[in-house]
Amino acid sequence: MEPPAFALTQEAVVKLDGPVAKAGEVEKIFTDLGFFFCRVDCAGLGGKGEFITAVGTGFGFSGVDAHNWDSLEDSLGSLPCFRKAAGYAAVLSNFSGLPPGELALFEEVVRDAAAALWRNYSLRLKVVLLKPEKSSRK
């Protein structure tokens, strides 16, 4: 069975609807492709610093400056230097509580890092923003 189109495109940030439980399905898609994969649960994160630290920890970075988008971008763009894989992917869940604008800045950082990874290593970076299912309760 072929992976879904979102896994094969150059688009760095993908937004999917579904329960957080589907993160396991997304993980299987990317690990079957040989990607390094991590999950980042953003529930309860208190702001930019905690968010950057959580993303850095998910990818296994030890020296990401928690208040610096550039540091995160540089780390993502140099993933092949310390973690060999056919590509790199993450699922972010519970991100609706992040401060306004932080998610948009993160998406820009991911797009820039993904462009550098493709340009320098011909490898893809994917971040899947897993939106929870809307409740059917009224």
In which band, very low, low, confident or very high, does the pLDDT at 133 lie, cut at 50, 70 and 90? low
Could you report the per-residue pLDDT of 64-94, keeping only the tens digit for each?
Answer: 666 789 999 999 999 999 899 999 999 999 8
Domain that holds residue 14: 5-129
Asked whether residue 137 is assigned to any structural domain, the reply reads: no
How far apart are the C-alpha atoms of 118 and 90, rounded to whole Å?
17
**Domain for residue 136, yes or no?**
no
Domain membership flag for residue 138: no
- Give 137's pLDDT tier (boundaries 50, 70, 90): very low
Residue 105 sits in a domain of what CATH number?
Answer: 3.40.50.300
Q: Is residue 135 part of a domain?
A: no
Q: Are 90 and 26 in contact (CB under 8 A)?
A: no
> Can you tell me the distance from the alpha carbon of 134 to that of 17, in angstroms, rounded to the nearest whole number?
9
What is the rounded average pLDDT for all residues in the chain?
A: 87
d(CA 62, CA 95): 22
Domain assignment of residue 110, yes or no: yes
The C-alpha atoms of residue 21 and residue 41 are separated, in whole angstroms, by 12
Give residue-wise pLDDT tens across range 43-65. Answer: 998 888 889 989 999 999 876 66
